[in-house]
Amino acid sequence: MKPRVFVTRRIPERGLKKILDFCDAEIWEEELPPPREVLLQKVRDCEGLLSLLTDKVDAELMDHAPKLKVISNYAVGYDNIDVDAATARGIAVGNTPGVLTETTADFAWALLMSAARRVVEGMDYVRAGRWKTWGPMLLLGQDVYGATLGLLGLGRIGSAVARRARGFAMRVIYYDPYRRQDLERELNIEYVDLDTLFQQSDYISIHTPLTPETYRLVNRERFKQMKCTAILVNTARGPIVDTMALYEALRDGEIAYAALDVTDPEPLPADHPLLSLTNVVICPHIASASVETRSRMAEIAADNLIAGLKGEPLPAPVNPQVVPGRRQAL
């Protein structure tokens, strides 16, 4: 008999086919995530769960699913999962690192450039029929070439963003709790403390996971340290930034611009005060959304799921100390 799994949204075919070949899979076909009560009920008899970052996978859910052996998250980030609770129960957790690095770094740059050169404001201007002539003072932005880029976090994606900065002759500084002298040499970047990062950067791009330590790390005090011409880019997780403090900093000219792929809350309601500002670009969490990358994420997510069901090590484990297939009762 094939193992029963629940897949909380339709994912690209390359991964889905593998899952359907190996598992007795139920796929949630709606655009919106399964409501909590439905999710709890769906996982009850499942050995595997393929979750998205919009699904809260906590101890309560795990206890509703006594046969659950593996949780495969279709994302590199896994702040939606209580990994300690999974580990305590012997449930393997997997994620999708690596395959989305370059695509996400590309998008961080797309956001940075569109904020620096006011691309979205330009489009709005043209669409509104306001383009009457060439203007010497029209939509003046800021130079990227030669500016200082501050990276908050130097993991895979932060490093990929730094690599791209070389073509713009930027000074790149970074802060990360783990200093990487190998990368400092390879990428010609400088390690600085957090105060220096916020004070000296023309652009700050966030590439750190969401953890209790990084929650609202970018807050009112940090905005006060930043240059009034600074641009903040966030492709990591919304709650790393204090949204109301960001709104006030943008409104009061404490910083110049923000370019966000992630927000807090997410989705951002259409009547949110941030959307009343012109010095902000917001996208709906699409930094990894290229056709190829989403397919590769689907493949890894499927491989993690199937390995966990077979009792084999996951190709991309979050809690490698768990031996898959040995679910423990608490």
State the catalytic residue, choosing from 248, 266, 272, 312: 266
Within positions 270 to 309, which residues make up the interface with ligand DGY, using CB under 6 A? Answer: 288
Report yes or no: 28 and 50 within 8 Å, Cβ to Cβ: no
Instruction: Indicate which residue of 285, 294, 296, 327 is catalytic.
Output: 285
Say whether residue 200 binds ligand DGY (CB under 6 A). no
- State which residue, 99 or 249, has the beta carbon closest to ligand DGY: 99
Q: Is residue 213 within 8 Å of 197, Cβ to Cβ?
A: no
Q: Supply the minimum distance, in Å, between the C-beta of residue 95 and ligand DGY.
A: 7
Task: State the residue for tokens 């199937």.
Answer: 306
- In the residue annotation, 266 being an active-site residue is answered as yes
Which residue in 75, 172, 189, 280 binds ligand DGY (CB under 6 A)?
A: 75
Closest to ligand DGY by CB, 77 vs 325, is 77
Stretch 35-54 residues interacting with ligand DGY (CB under 6 A): 53
How is the beta sheet containing 70-73 ordered, strand by strand?
Answer: 24-27, 4-7, 48-51, 70-73, 92-94
CB of 288 to ligand DGY, least distance (A): 3
Calculate the alpha carbon distances from 116 to 31, 109, 168 in Å.
Answer: 33, 10, 13
Nearer to ligand DGY, 210 or 249 (CB): 210
The set of residues, in sequence order, having a beta carbon less than 8 Å from that of 196 and lying 6+ positions away, is 173, 175
Residue 285 is among the residues annotated as catalytic for this protein: yes
Length of the chain in terms of residues written: 330
- Which of the residues 207, 237, 296, 327 is marked catalytic? 237
Q: Distances from the Cα of 145 to the Cαs of 154, 166, 257, in angstroms?
A: 21, 9, 17
Show the binding pattern over residues 144-183: x = contacts ligand DGY (CB under 6 A), - = does not. Answer: ----------------------------------------
Cβ–Cβ contacts within 10 Å for residue 41, how many? 13
Min separation Cβ 298 and ligand DGY, Å: 11
The CA-based angle 227-155-300, given to 5 degrees, is 135
The region of 18-26, 70-78, 84-92, 111-119 touching ligand DGY under the rule CB under 6 A is 70-78
In angstroms, what is the minimal distance from the CB of 330 to ligand DGY? 28
CB 311 within 8 A of CB 92: no
Residue 64 annotated as catalytic: no
Q: Bridge-partner residues for 70, per DSSP?
A: 48, 92
Residue 77 found at the interface with ligand DGY (CB under 6 A): yes
Q: Please give the Cα distance from 296 to 288 (Å, whole number).
A: 11
Work out how close the CB of 42 gets to ligand DGY at its nearest, in angstroms, rounded to a whole number: 22
C-beta closer to ligand DGY: residue 100 or 151: 100
Number of residues located near ligand DGY, criterion CB under 6 A: 6
Scan residues 84-113 and list those touching ligand DGY (CB under 6 A): 100
At its nearest, how many Å lie between ligand DGY and the CB of residue 79?
Answer: 8
Work out how close the CB of 208 gets to ligand DGY at its nearest, in angstroms, rounded to a whole number: 12
DSSP of 116-128, one letter per residue? HTTHHHHHHHHHT
Residues 6+ apart with CB under 8 A from 177: 213
206 close to 242: Cβ distance less than 8 angstroms? no
Burial of 40 (0-12, 13-18, 19+ CB in 10 A): middle
Q: Judged by CB under 6 A, does residue 258 bind ligand DGY? A: no
Interface contacts to ligand DGY, rule CB under 6 A = 53, 75-77, 100, 288
> Which residues participate in catalysis according to the annotation?
237, 266, 285
